[in-house]
Each structure stands twice: as structure tokens, then as C-alpha cells.
Amino acid sequence: KWSDGVPLTAADSVYSFQLASDPATPVVKRTSDQVASYQALDALTVQMVSKPGLVTDMFEKYFWTPLPQHVWGKYTAKELLTAEISTRTPLGWGAYVIEEWIPGEAIHLKKNSYYFRADEGLPYIKDVKFIFTRGEEPDDNRKAIEMGACDIVDSTVKLNEFLGNWMRNGNKNQLHKAFIEQDNLIELLALRIGNKRNRNIEQPNTNLRFNFFSDKDIRKAISYCIDQEELIQNFLYDYSAIPLSIYPPKHPQYQEVIHIPEHDLEKGNDLLQKSGWVDNDNNPETPRTSRNVPGIPDNTQLEITYIALKGDSEFNIANYLMNSLEQCGIKVKLKTIPIYEFFSPNQNGALFGQYYDIAQLSLSLSPRALCQYFSNPYVESNRKEITEQINLLNFTGFSNDNLDSLCKELVSNNKLYKEDDEIIENIQKIISEEIPIIPLFYHLKVSLTQYPICGFTLDLSARSDLWNIEEFYFGKNCRNEEQLIIE
């Protein structure tokens, strides 16, 4: 039932499909456009008939989550975008209903008496209050727990900023416990391989006119020069790991397919020397110079532009990596850039405009994101605006025909979902072998709870830390021994 007691039926799913198909609803129409008909056969059954040519085993994609037609049906799709009944007090069938929403301050929830698991005594906690804090620093949220102002601080607050201090000082009074997992956000170095325009014209007096990393051996040398394990020890206290997959280790799709060369300064320096970057004075503190390097004049210094986001943690990591690169005879000019300039989606942006040799950034590398950032699938498109947009997303200038073919196959409708696994594995292998990026570590997902809160656990495949909120309860000295407890 809906939370107002009205039965939830298949007709509500049909209504949801109709809303999703409406031009006024701002959602991607790709899935609904593949449907020839979507109708309710009875109160509990919907039937989807696809248009000719669709091949899929992802049937869940073609079921539209029910929406309350008995309440929303009198509104148009456009009106629902701003109506209070859909944006402030929407009906649902979950464990709680919205009782009060105070903009900018709090949302009060109360137990849904029509919840389908009510016979199990769920939800255990009758009332929930979401508080919007105005803390200037992440540590303010930890203090809120210590003062008893809240019971949970979830991972949407970047708590890992103070993880180091917390680890050193400990949680002596056992006021709260921490849940720490590796997230799917990966910190990485991007190496500019190719230019998207003539640097000789636009950057006549800088080394940005050269492609230092067009040779894969040089990219591999950079990887040898960096000690990811020490980086993780120093900045993440061994709670993270070197990414061997685009998914973190506890993700259900995790599979080790990425190979990261082990830190080896000798191998790194040797590869640079063999690639034509010569150390004339046997002094790693002075930059190497070129000798017979394709596309680069002899005696050019190996001096690169390294960009990172402006911020304390970003700067500290960049400074550490800069020192590592200099041990291989690579002179680094570090630039820290505000986020809006770094990710500006035009040719003047630092990243997408390719005003760098090495860029330090964090990305969630889903399979389709890999294709967006590293393939060139639309180069032959007749639609000029699409071609320019896709090429701009490929910020490294990486090009690989096999990757392009795999990405084209990945977005094709004429295959089963289980066939994606092999494609995704092969895409990761190409990225690993060709090294347009060097993965550094998984970011951390950190949440805090009061000790009396039981039932809380992080699930990386869930959209929210509160995925099982109906099972939370207060218990004396509650401990979850499977999770890390900071004391």
C-alpha cells in the first residue's frame, strides 16, 4: 500500500512510464523509447513489449517504479516538477513518511503504519530527523556526535579529511564508532598523450607544445617512479589500496584486471634513459634532456606542468608525487587550480582544454565513463556538435581502435547484459596496458554513528548509507564486530 493506505497497483507503474515518456519530464528517454507498449494486465502484473531489434536480459530496466497516480494524476508532468505534493511531501511505500520539512533546517519523518514489513515490527525506530548542518569543517560533524546533537553522520560529509588526526588521537571515550570502506572514487594521474589543437600556435613559449608522454615506455617509467603504497600509508593510513579494478574490493563486480608496475626508481630511470631522456650529470635533481626523442628537439629539458585542485589534501599529495618524479630527473611545475577552472567544460578549462602534462584528479570510473573519457566513438558522426563534445571529454588525447570498438559494442542494444562483463574487462586491460592514467588509490567512504545505534552497515552497492534504515535500533553497548571501530 501507499503510505496513505491506498493500494499500490500495476496501474501506478504504467502511470510512472507515462510520466517518464512525457516530453516535459527531464529524464533520458532512451529506455522508454525502446518500448512499443507498457500496460497493466491486472492489479499486480505489467507487460512490456519492446520495439523490434531490442536484445536484453536486463528486464529490471524496463519496469518503471510506481508513482501515486491517485494523488498526482490531476497534475501535468510539468506541474509535478514544482508542485509541493511531489517535491516536498511525496507519497511512498517505504518505512517512513515525511511529517515536516523545514527548508534549510530539518526534515522530520515518522513511522509508516502501512509499511509492508510492519508485521516484522519494522521500522524499529519510530521517528527520524534529518538535520542540515552549517559546519564550516568536517570535524564539526564529529563534534555534533560527541555532543549528542545527532546519532549518525553519513559519508556524504567528507569525514576522511580529519581521519589522520582522529587516528592519532583515538576515540578514548568510545563515544562513537567509525565505518570505513574503500569507495568507487579513484584518485589518479592523467597523462596528456595527444594534443587536440596546435600548441605551436597557442603555446609557443611553453613545453605544453610537446607531447612528453606519447611514448608508452615513458608513461610506464612515470608509473615506476611513483610509490603508491607509501602514498597510501602516509595519507590514508593503510585504509585504502592501489586500484586493481575500477570497482573497490568489496563491490560485487570487483575483479583484479588492472596491472600497476611496482615502485622501482632504477627501472623508471632506465626506461627514461632508453627512451632518449638523458641524465647528463648523473644528478636526479636536475632535469633530464632529450636526445633523439621523436617530435621533441634535442636538449629540451624534461620539465612538465602538473595540475591539481586547490586544497590542502590535494596539494600535499601533489607535493609528495612531485618529489617522487624529481627523483627520476623530471622537473615539475605545480599549479593548483580552483575546481571551476579545473573542470570547466570548454577549451579554456585546465583539464578538458589540456593545459597540463600531468593532471591529478579523482574520478568514478564506471565502464561508460571509461568510454567517455578515453575513446573516440563519434569521430565519424555527421553531427558536428556531438563530435566536438565527445572529443573534448577525452582529456588525455588517448586513442586506441580496439577500445573504440569495445565501447561501441558496450552501448549497443543488440547484446545481453552478461556479455558486458567480458567487454568491461577488456576495456580495463587496454587502459592498464596503455597507461593513459595511473591509478593511485581508492577514496574512503567514512561514516560515524553513536555507539547505541545498531544495524548500521556500509554497502558499496547501495545508493545511500541509510539503505536499511528500517533495521536501525538503539541497543546498549551495540557493536558490529565486522566493521572497524575507532577507539
Query: So what's the pLDDT on residue 385?
Result: 46
Over the stretch 282-338, which tens digit does the pLDDT of each residue have?
A: 887 899 999 999 999 999 999 999 999 998 889 999 999 999 999 999 999 999 999
Per the CB < 8 A criterion, the answer to whether 32 and 54 are in contact is no
| Least confident span in 156-165, 173-182, 210-219, 340-349 | 156-165
**In Å, how far from its chain's centre is CA 187?**
10
CA dist., res. 361 & res. 380, Å (int): 30
Per the CB < 8 A criterion, the answer to whether 211 and 191 are in contact is no
CA dist., res. 160 & res. 134, Å (int): 18
Task: Give the DSSP letter of residue 55.
Answer: B
Question: What predicted TM-score, i.e. pTM, was given to this entire model?
Answer: 0.82
Q: Percentage of residues in the chain with pLDDT exceeding 70?
A: 85
The answer for residues whose C-beta is within 8 angstroms of residue 291's C-beta and 6 or more apart is 276, 277, 278, 298, 299
CA dist., res. 314 & res. 296, Å (int): 31
Per the CB < 8 A criterion, the answer to whether 329 and 294 are in contact is no
The residue ranges of every structural domain in the chain are 10-83, 184-442
Asked if the model's pLDDT at residue 62 lies above 60, the reply is yes
For residue 166, name the pLDDT band (cuts at 50, 70, 90): low
CA dist., res. 278 & res. 271, Å (int): 10
Mean pLDDT score across all residues of the chain: 86
Highest mean pLDDT among 4-13, 56-65, 439-448: 4-13
Query: So what's the pLDDT on residue 177?
Result: 80
Over the stretch 390-418, which tens digit does the pLDDT of each residue have?
A: 567 899 999 999 999 998 888 775 666 66
Please name the residue that has the C-alpha cell 518503471: 64
For residue 451, name the pLDDT band (cuts at 50, 70, 90): confident
With CA atoms as reference, report the closest residue to 443 among 232, 245, 263: 232
Over the stretch 76-112, which tens digit does the pLDDT of each residue have?
A: 999 999 999 999 999 999 999 999 999 988 999 999 9
Query: So what's the pLDDT on residue 202?
Result: 47
Distances from the Cα of 9 to the Cαs of 48, 69, 72, 471, in angstroms? 16, 10, 15, 26
Query: So what's the pLDDT on residue 414?
Result: 60
CATH topology of domain 184-442: Dipeptide-binding Protein; domain 3 (3.10.105)
Instruction: State how beta strands 358-364 and 303-309 pair.
Output: parallel
Asked if the model's pLDDT at residue 199 lies above 70, the reply is no
Query: So what's the pLDDT on residue 207?
Result: 52
Which residues sit opposite 190 in a β-bridge?
359, 437
Give the cell for residue 255: 575483479
HSE, CB side, 13 Å, CA atoms: give it for residue 324: 22
Query: So what's the pLDDT on residue 176?
Result: 73
For residue 56, name the pLDDT band (cuts at 50, 70, 90): confident
